[in-house]
Chains A and B, each alone.
Chain A
Amino acid sequence: MRTHLMASALMILCLRGLMAELPQIKPDVWEVKEAETKGFGAIILERTIRFHAASVEHAYLIRVLNEQGRNAVEFPKFLPTSTIEGRTIARGGVETPFKASSDFQTKALVETGKGSLNRTSVIPPGLTSDCVVQIQWTERAFFGLAGPFWDYQVQDRVFSLGARLPTRRLELEVYDDLAWGYDLQTGPRGAQIVNGKGFRKAIFKEIPAYEWVPYSEESAKDNPRFVLYQQPRYLVEASQKGEKVFWEEVANHWYRPFYDQKIQYGKVWGAFSDEIRQGLPPSRQAAALELHRRLVARFLDVTALTPEELAARSEKQNKRKIDPRDFGEVLKTGETTGAGLHLLLWSLLGSSGIPAKPVFMVDRRERKLRPKECNIAQLGDWVLMIEQEGAPPIFIEPARRFAPPDLILPKFQGTEALALTPADPKWGYQVVKVPIQDGSRNTQVVKVTTIVGEDRDQIHLTSHSTGIKDWEERAQWWSMLPAERNKNLKEILEKRDAAVQIETATVGPYNRGPFEWKCDAVRERDAARHIEVNPFPLVDSPMDLPRDLPAQRQERIALPLLGLQEYQAIIVCPQGFVWSGAPPIQRSNTFGEVNWTAGPGDSPSEIRVLLKVRTTTLLAEPSSYPEFKTFLAWVRESFSRTITLSRSSS
């Protein structure tokens, strides 16, 4: 019995020795000053992430300095694991170890008949407004070893290394046996890189807390990021030979087959090609745009039909499978897909001697193109670039409906993109700049007529949009049938002003541009000393006006798009009321122009108000922040101006 007990005790001691213990906490953690938390009330003193082949280790040491910091301590959910240890230590030394039975919960995040995805949450106990929290755990890696679909999988995960709290020191280790590729983006602050035996380590210092800032985007923050990516085996092998070999492999074996292989032209392709290319303009770019226009007029992209168009077709028509490479069938039916239009344009451009380059753009709001990150999952939308001497290149999105195909979506403007350069025998690649378009084609013109009464106003409003504004507004209502669009518009407008009753609201016509919506409304008026009229009711401000802007800014400023918003108002005054006039607003700076003018209309009872807001800078450095704030203040001032009518003394 005694031997048995001794053996058990020895075994327990050995097991305890094998378990990783929490590191000792240095006394200087209690010297941390509240100012170091930058107003967050807590700071991550040390954070460690270690990526192994089949597991990820995490460790945190957090110092909490006030109530706000206490409320901010939270840990992400993680894959279930049995190796979690943690404790909270209050000043004075009272220690609260984490208990598995009461401080962790493992629960299915999603469960289906085929299985479940479980996640563990930690609810740290014993937090006070002056304490230290320490925790470490090891979770199973979501990116295990190569699976049976290895040859087809393309995906990535982006880990932003900033947290909700500022981080004093972050150590990231990546072990060489990791099955996925990775890219470490250290940001402008950089990191100390250490290459060890079988691993690579990056040490970051002073990572600011993640905060959302108006008119900013993730990629512009330059926060340190760690990207894990998975792709087919042959691309992994190519990436190990360097950036050039990788992208050439991508060009020639991932994308090129779409253009080169298995296209069935059919018997009439030749005649069709000759006929559709007849009489094209001499310049390449104009010819490309004209060719696209003819294609869209000739072929229906069934992947971009509106609900009313789908409803007008039979179920059989809508369910028919289309092979975009079977040009013979496409010519016969007149129907193809978005990819099919892309391929048709490509082929016809080739036949016309107009070299087109496939270009893969990257959404500037989330990331920047990094060719040295051998990861095709970073690439986004896919267009064709046509170059021409003496002119900037144009980028054609063949499948875009209801908007000019050479309009570049604002999220891609001002970026670098990856262009493939077709050549025989081998395709190449290059990095190209996607320009910022001047916004002259993006307009919204709102016309409002308000017949003012002493107890109610009658309002008639129309809105016309072109370019990107058209495309954005149309997208809002795309998935609805006409009656639903009108109902949705009515609800949106009534939410904007509780005093308004919308009598009619009409969206469209939908199938042609410029995009239009209109409404008739009645607005009740309370008795008052003066009649105050908002010249532009029921419409949003030309720019988003947050309640407040931070005093300082580190991030690049990004506007949603460039263009012109114009508001034309006619106010018909009731008898016995006069308006004493108002001085104009005419302001401009690098961000654009704001012009507000008001004056008499065609008849003595009319007042005309005109507001134009034009934005001319899409992206700007933080040094322009004071100018930007000034520009927003002008927009707010002009859009919120009302017309005050007073009773005439006569």
Chain B
Amino acid sequence: MSRMIALLFLLLAGAWPVRAQFWGLPNWADSAVRDSATRMPPEGEDAWILLDQTLVSYRGAGELRKIHTRVVRVLTKQGRDEGTFLSRGFGKTVSKIQKLKGWNLRPDGSTRKIDRDDLVSIDADAFAGRTVSTEVLSAATLPDVEVGCIIAFESQETLKLPLGPVDLVFPLESHPIRRYILEVGVDLPFRTTSREELLSVRVDSRNLNAWASVIRQSDRLVELEDLPALPKDEPWAAAGLEQVPFVSLRFQDPALTVCPDLSNWDGYAKWIHQRYAPMIEKVQPVPMEGVSARDALVRLSQWMRTSLVYRMVYLSPERGWIPERSTETLRRRYGDCKDLATCLLGGASALRLDGSPVLARLGQGRIPGDAPVNPFLFNHVIAAIRLDQSLGFPAEVQTPRGRFLLVDPTSRTTPLGWLPVGHRGARLMICTAEGATWVEVPDSALDRERVEYHLEGQISSEGVLTGTLRILESADALGLQSIAQAEGAKGLKQHSLRFAPQALPAHWEVVSIRPPMQPEDPFETILKIEYSGARIQKGGEWELNLPALVRPPAPLKRTKAKRRFPIEVPPGVDYHWTASLKVGTEASPVCASGRLATPLREATWKASSQGGMLDLALDHRQKPVRWEIKDQDAGLQALRKDRSDCLRFLEEALAFQPGQGPATGHK
């Protein structure tokens, strides 16, 4: 009897792990499925992430280990993408997937499984244009994924970043998440120089309240419930760091002497300064003697803008954070933002001017004043040249640590002394030997975006317009100057076709290109154009269909879902448009002058007609405006009214009553 009991026990004990193999998902995935069983899947979604859990452990010597478990229910065919495990890494020397298991529990009860042997790594640069890096995409796909499947993945990855044990996590994804858990811990192996008692572990979160229905947090845990999908199709969304939820993790290990001190911004800034300093080699690519420091810097900047191109080439992982030497950038004649900034500082040092790298964030919202110390908040580097006295440039800033001239050498169209408009409203961190100096970019430092169009020509009785369109562009407002620089007349023609009122103009050629000779000069191009349908009959009136006119804003879709992001409209380009057209017949503008003023724009219109000539002028400026989430209904209403008013304004401006002459041309 006892033998039988023992045998039965052995059978059961042996069978228990087999349960996972034959009966579907592992226990942790089972629990996640049962936890959500009583809830309805979110409406209109392609997949529902039932659990996304990551344990980040510090293993000493700068190494992090991430154990990630994830359970997803596939709701539609588009949601089948969740059947692919995908991870982006920096190459084997930095990141490695040690373990991977995947399960696909199908609606018919059968299970498909994969493991690490099914992993395929692909060169991430294949999807990144001309970037050359060490980045790798690792993927493994579960077979036979269909609607109704439950997908589970368990992975273990180790990371040893040049910046040390630090990470910045954004919980939101393209599908909603039922339960999100981020946990940090310390798991030092026996042989390590790191000491747990000396470690400091920081977990800082921001903006969680606005997104999760339930938040549980401690110093080493963040647990969230019912996160929505990352909103898409919200026009004018202010989706920066002040809105999106994120979690900053860092482990401060005194044993790591080569990694930055992230206990405060000063520590990080000093580390950056120390890493850049040996790379800032004195260089003099153009003669700089016998001229003032101001003129020498202008010469250096002009030379760099014409001779060096922006290109990201990272042949080792640390190149994502550490620049090339100035002399090497000159040899290559290309570099990324760090390299170009370092090269500029190398040129400044030849003039006995000190400089520092400046960390910035472009295109993804400004860095908030209460941001946690984390290197991944930055995605751009510019230069700050220390000045003993002002050189009279708008992009100079006075700080407690001195006066600096801010220069972004990646912009080939921005003259020295100004910053490109991408830095509008930004907070930048100047990294000096003494520590961090934060500055706000003043609007006066920005290159002023302006565009002028001058149309001259004639409209025949058949409605064919022939003439020239002269475009004067400042601050690369339309991208024409940089396109002309990179792609010549051919590229400029293709890009300027967006100003044509319709496809397939009979003639649209670039006849001249004139780059700016002085910093204050605009870029100029002249196009020779011809197209039909320039005059359209509408009832008893004619409407002009002319190139390069301001386009009314796109219609706003009505949705039931409330917005998640505030509405923020940035200031637009200063726009000035004139036309002088021979129409060959008397024509009276319906609206000789007009004015448009909405919360989002201001515009004026003038039209006159004499002796068969029409003279028209339109000035337009988009104004910055913001509505917080609580005021979104008012904001959306204002956006809709703005579109209506703009349409009406343009319709009236372009309408005129013909005099004698046959009615031809229809739309």
Q: Which residues in window 629-644 of A have CB below 8 A to B?
A: 629, 632-633, 636-637, 640-642, 644
Which chain A residues border B116 with CB–CB below 8 Å?
A: 113
A-binding segment of B162-170, B486-494, B518-526: B486-494
B315's closest neighbor in chain A, by CB? A105
Residue of B nearest to A96 (CB): B331
**Contact B504–A526 (Cβ < 8 Å):** no
Whether A350 sits at the interface, judged by CB under 8 Å, is no
Q: In the assembled complex, which residues on chain A have CB atoms less than 8 Å from the CB atom of B297?
A: none
Evaluate contact between A110 and B121: CB separation under 8 angstroms. yes
Q: Chain A residues near B532 (CB, 8 Å)?
A: 633, 637
Q: Give the complex CA separation of A54 and B555 in angstroms.
A: 61
Counting chain B CB atoms within 10 Å of each CB, which of A526, A582, A644 scores highest? Answer: A526
Minimum CB distance partner of A68 in chain B: B488
In the complex, A67→B308 CA distance in Å? 11
B409 at the interface (CB under 8 A from A): no
Quick check: B77 and A529 within 8 Å, CB to CB? Answer: no
Residues 78-120 of A contacting B (Cβ, < 8 Å): 96, 101-103, 105, 107-113, 116, 119
**Cβ-defined contact, B486 with A108, below 8 A:** no
Give bound CA distance, A499 to B555, whole Å: 5
Instruction: Return B560 CB to nearest CB of chain A, in Å.
Output: 11
Q: Which B residues touch A529, using CB under 8 A?
A: 538, 541, 648, 651-652, 655
A641 in contact with B666 given A68-B491, A498-B557 (CB within 8 Å):
yes
Which residues of A sit under 8 angstroms from B63, Cβ to Cβ? Answer: none
Rounded to whole angstroms, the CA-CA distance of A68 and B485 in the bound complex is 7
CB of A189 within 8 A of chain B?
A: no
* Known A-B contacts A68-B487, A546-B504; A102 and B123 likewise in contact (beta carbons under 8 Å): no
Which of B118, B488, B502 sits near A640, CB closer than 8 Å? Answer: B502
Q: Which residue of A lies closest to B508 (CB)?
A: A548
Decide yes or no: A102 and B332 within 8 Å by CB, A113-B119, A484-B76, A644-B538 being known contacts.
yes
Are B313 and A487 closer than 8 Å at their CB atoms? no
**Pair B666/A583 contact, Cβ less than 8 Å:** yes
Q: In the complex, A642→B311 CA distance in Å?
A: 47
Q: Does B328 contact A (CB under 8 A)?
A: yes
A636 touches B644 (CB 8 A): no
B540 within 8 A of A: yes
State whether the Cβ of B283 lies closer than 8 Å to any Cβ in chain A: no
A109-B123 in contact given A499-B555, A530-B538 (Cβ < 8 Å):
yes
Tell me the complex Cα distance, A83–B306, Å.
Answer: 33
State which of B132, B309, B498, B504 has its C-beta within 8 Å of the C-beta of A121. B132
Inter-chain contact A113/B538, CB cutoff 8 Å? no
List residues 173-195 of chain A with CB under 8 A from any CB of chain B: none
Query: In the bound complex, do residue A528 and residue B651 qualify as a contact, i.e. CB atoms below 8 Å apart?
Result: yes
B333 interface residue (CB < 8 Å to A): yes
Within 8 Å CB of B119, what residues of A?
112-113
A70 on the B face (CB < 8 A): yes
B511 at the interface (CB under 8 A from A): no
Task: Please report the total number of A residues contacting B with Cβ < 8 Å.
Answer: 63
Given contacts A501-B558, A548-B494, A642-B667, contact A110 B488 (CB under 8 A): no
Residue A39 is within 8 A (CB to CB) of chain B in the complex: yes
Chain B residues lying within 8 Å of A68, measured Cβ to Cβ, are 486-488, 490-491
B142 → chain A, closest Cβ, in Å?
A: 16
Those of A32-83 within 8 Å (CB) of chain B: 39, 41, 66-68, 70-71, 74
Which residues of the partner chain B approach A637 to less than 8 Å between Cβ atoms?
532-533
**Neighbouring A residues of B558 by C-beta, 8 Å:** 501, 524
Would you call A423 an interface residue if the criterion is a C-beta within 8 Å of the partner chain's C-beta atoms?
Answer: no
B147 proximity list for chain A (CB < 8 A): 481
Is B538 a contact partner of A66 (Cβ separation < 8 A)? no
Answer whether A125 and B331 are a contact pair too, CB < 8 Å, given A105-B132, A548-B497.
Answer: yes
Write the nearest CB–CB distance from B42 to chain A, whole angstroms. 15
Structural contact, B504 and A109, CB atoms closer than 8 A: no
A480 at the interface (CB under 8 A from B): yes
Per a CB cutoff under 8 Å, which of B313, B331, B490, B554 touches A498? B554
A594 within 8 A of B: no
Q: Mark A119-132, 1 if CB is under 8 A from B, else 0.
A: 10101011111000
Kindly report which residue of chain A lies nearest to residue B641, judged by CB atoms. Answer: A526
Q: Complex: how many Å from CA A337 to CA B219?
A: 62
Give the CA-CA distance A110 to B541 in the complex, in Å. Answer: 64
- How many Å from the CB of B132 to the closest CB on chain A? 5
CB-defined contacts of A116 to chain B, threshold 8 Å: 121
Q: Does A145 contact B (CB under 8 A)?
A: no
Chain A positions within 8 Å of B108 at CB level: 315
Interface flags for B48-65 (1: CB within 8 Å of A; 0: not) read 000000000000000000
* B122 is an interface residue with CB less than 8 A from chain A: yes
| B539 contacts A112, C-beta separation under 8 Å | no
CB contacts (< 8 Å) of A632 on chain B: these are: 504
Tell yes or no: B468 within 8 A of A by CB: no
List B contacts of A105 (CB < 8 A).
132, 313, 315
Cα distance, A98 to B486, chains bound together (Å): 23
Contact between chains at A39 and B488 (CB < 8 Å): yes
Q: Contacts A315-B108, A637-B532: A128 and B504 contacting too (C-beta < 8 A)?
A: no
CB closest residue in chain A, given B500: A547
User: Is there an interface contact between A644 and B331, defined as CB atoms closer than 8 Å?
Assistant: no
A457-496, CB under 8 A of B: which get 1 and which 0?
0000000000000000000000011001001000000100
Do B315 and A524 touch across chains, with their CB atoms under 8 A apart?
Answer: no
Q: Mark B297-317, 1 if CB is under 8 A from A, else 0.
A: 000000000110101010100
- Which residues in chain B, 110-141, are within 8 Å of chain A measured between CB atoms? 116-123, 125-126, 130, 132, 134, 136
Is A646 a contact of B655 with CB atoms below 8 Å? no
Decide if A641 touches B667 in the complex (CB within 8 Å). yes
Report the separation of the CA atoms of residues A126 and B334 in the bound assembly, to the nearest whole angstrom. 8
Determine the distance from Cα of A548 to Cα of B531 in the docked complex, in whole angstroms. Answer: 12
Find out whether the CB atom of A109 lies under 8 angstroms from the CB atom of B122: yes
The reply on B1 being an interface residue by CB < 8 A is no
Closest A-chain residue to B77, C-beta based? A484
User: What are the residues of chain B within 8 A of A546 when measuring CB–CB?
Assistant: 503-504
Known: A484-B77, A526-B648, A640-B502. A532 touches B538 (CB 8 A): yes
Q: Which residues of A contact B643 (CB under 8 A)?
A: 526
Q: Is A549 an interface residue (CB 8 A)?
A: yes
Check if A633 sits within 8 Å of B122, measured CB to CB.
no
Closest to B505 in A: A548
- Residue B10 is within 8 A (CB to CB) of chain A in the complex: no
Contact A528 B539 (CB under 8 A): no
The answer on a CB contact under 8 Å between A71 and B309 is yes
Asked if B77 and A526 sit within 8 Å, CB to CB, the answer is no
A278 contacts the other chain (CB 8 A): no
A644-B539, A644-B667 known; A127-B333 Cβ under 8 A: yes
Report the nearest B residue to A110, measured CB to CB. Answer: B122
**Interface contact A582-B490, CB-CB below 8 Å:** no
Flag whether B647 is at the interface (Cβ < 8 A). Answer: yes
B497 closest partner in A (C-beta) = A547
Question: In the bound complex, what is the Cα–Cα distance between A646 and B539 (angstroms)?
Answer: 6
The answer to whether A547 and B555 touch across the interface, beta carbons within 8 angstroms, is no
B43 to chain A, nearest CB (A): 13
A645, B311: Cα distance in complex, Å: 54
A interface residue numbers (CB < 8 A to B): 39, 41, 66-68, 70-71, 74, 96, 101-103, 105, 107-113, 116, 119, 121, 123, 125-129, 315, 480-481, 484, 487, 494, 498-499, 501, 524, 526-530, 532, 545-549, 580, 582-583, 629, 632-633, 636-637, 640-642, 644, 646
27 A-B residue pairs with CB within 8 Å: A67-B488, A68-B490, A101-B315, A105-B132, A108-B121, A108-B136, A110-B122, A111-B136, A123-B334, A128-B307, A484-B76, A498-B556, A524-B558, A526-B644, A526-B647, A530-B541, A530-B651, A532-B667, A545-B504, A547-B503, A548-B497, A580-B540, A583-B666, A632-B504, A636-B504, A637-B532, A644-B538
Q: Which 10 A-B pairs have the closest CB atoms?
A: A646-B539, A68-B488, A499-B555, A111-B121, A125-B332, A644-B538, A526-B644, A545-B503, A113-B117, A547-B497
Contacts beyond the supplied A547-B503, A642-B667: 12 A-B pairs with Cβ under 8 Å:
A70-B309, A74-B130, A101-B315, A109-B122, A113-B118, A119-B123, A127-B334, A501-B558, A529-B541, A548-B503, A633-B506, A646-B540
